Amino acid sequence: MKWYHYIACFFAGLFIANTVPHLIHGVSGDVFPTPFATPPGKGPSSATVNVFWALFNLLIGYMLMRVGKVSNHRVMSLVVFFLGIVVMCWMLSVVFVDKQMQF
């Protein structure tokens, strides 16, 4: 695999992990910050916006998985993919630690 496949694997993990909180809040009917909120990433966005943002993240993550050739036959691609998931989960836990109190 080429070096850029690993970058695609990493970013695929980031986008796939970012799908989860937005989809959960969206289908639950809860408001949750998105880049479209005012202020961006801090203000509340509607449940519908969160569902569409989650689906967009899922689509981009899937396309990056294809570009990165993520597969169980390429162990290193899976390692880098899951590293991207770990990094995004950690970042989200830091960024959204105070969000529950603001709504």
Return all residues near 6 (Cβ < 8 A) that are at least 6 apart.
68, 76, 77, 80
Q: Which two tokens stand for residue 66?
A: 């294809």
Mean pLDDT by 10 residues, the chain (103 residues): 95 97 95 89 90 98 96 93 97 79 49
pTM of the model: 0.88
